[in-house]
Structure 1
């Protein structure tokens, strides 16, 4: 049985310790005791003693850590170390996209930079893990894009599903969460860009090229296809920034 080190991290209790100190104290406690996601934290009284803080300060700190998904409060059961999550990053990126509005497309440009870098950097790994079923699912999604493009309809949701499906076989939850986060920002800002009807057809074709590159099993070809895929939106962003 593991012995929990509950000695105070910051000396004796003192009035009104700074909120960030208590937040840091609880994080230090988790790390020092090598607690894992899903592990139960001590009771509120024990945490107060461990970090040298009042009940109100600990409660405020737990609220902050809960918002960051570092801890999870289960009412009636206790407080647990949180599962690995980027929900806070998703919310922050999406809100930043909303703040930028139509006048500032730099946020979208940065999102595209990261998305392209991520997909190109993982090209070899993607090819290695994508099996026939996943390739068929990607191809079916492109079929939907082509049908919608022919009807001059947007297909943002199908596009999102394609990129999630592309990353899914890697088995990395953080990569999937990042992909979702970037898509939320793009979904907010992209509609402010001026696009031509033929852009939808081109976008569908570029997704088809990604599927073909994966099927060919050539990372260099996949990296080139990814770059070609992001080229049109980069051009639209450049036009928007220039006004």
Structure 2
């Protein structure tokens, strides 16, 4: 890891060969291979068999996998583990939505309205809309220009969906209410009311938590 940092190698950059790493680091071939395997698991390096080893994207995939396992491993308390994940996501989003009230543009609000309209159409057609829900939250924070925000929130989203799917909790018992709560968020943002936007987000998460705890 330090070699990658010292040489300022970016994602996709080729790493030295095994022989070069052995010489540069003063270690055995087995040590180099074990280190590369460990870094591959963390998405810090990417091993392309037959082509070489490259700097990875350092994505949050290891975090997602670890949190999913941690939650599913708590066989006696699935809902408690999911509630913890939701609580962390809720704290992040309630804080972020206050900033959005100051930065979101009318065009971005129109895009959010369009997603809510598609949610309503899905309800009318009796179709689930989890991906629209995710799209809404990703669009919501676009104006922040913070690349880590969608990655982090996406990680929590993916864990929640994986666990819910594994436990058969795929249906939203109140889709109309879910749509309404998303629209409340947009309405508050259009009014540039940060307090109301935060409250709308809190109500949204209260609904998700209530659904989880009744499973």
Give RMSD over aligned pairs. Answer: 2.7
Question: Residue 35 of structure 1 aligns with which residue?
Answer: 8
Corresponding position: 1:205 with 2:206:
no
The SS at the match of 2:123 is: helix
Which has the higher relative contact order, 1 or 2, with Cα contacts under 8 A spaced 6 or more apart?
A: 2
Question: Residue 237 of structure 1 aligns with which residue?
Answer: 212
> Unpaired segments of 5 or more residues in structure 2?
none
Q: TM-score by structure 2 length?
A: 0.83
Corresponding position: 1:168 with 2:142:
yes
> Unpaired segments of 5 or more residues in structure 1?
1-26
Tell me the distance in 2 between the aligned counterparts of 1:67 and 1:120.
Answer: 32
Q: TM-score by structure 1 length?
A: 0.75
Tell me the distance in 2 between the aligned counterparts of 1:86 and 1:136.
Answer: 30
Corresponding position: 1:68 with 2:42:
yes
Which aligned pairs between 1:72-221 and structure 2 lie closer than 5 A?
72-74=46-48, 78-100=52-74, 104-190=78-164, 192-193=168-169, 197=173, 199-221=174-196
Judge conservation of contact 1:102–1:189 (CA < 8 Å) in 2: no
Distance change (3 Å), C-alpha of 1:63 and 1:195: closer
Tell me the distance in 2 between the aligned counterparts of 1:79 and 1:43.
Answer: 8
* Cα shift at 1:126: 2.1
Judge conservation of contact 2:42–2:58 (CA < 8 Å) in 1: no
* Cα shift at 1:103: 5.4
1:223 to 192, 198, 207: 198
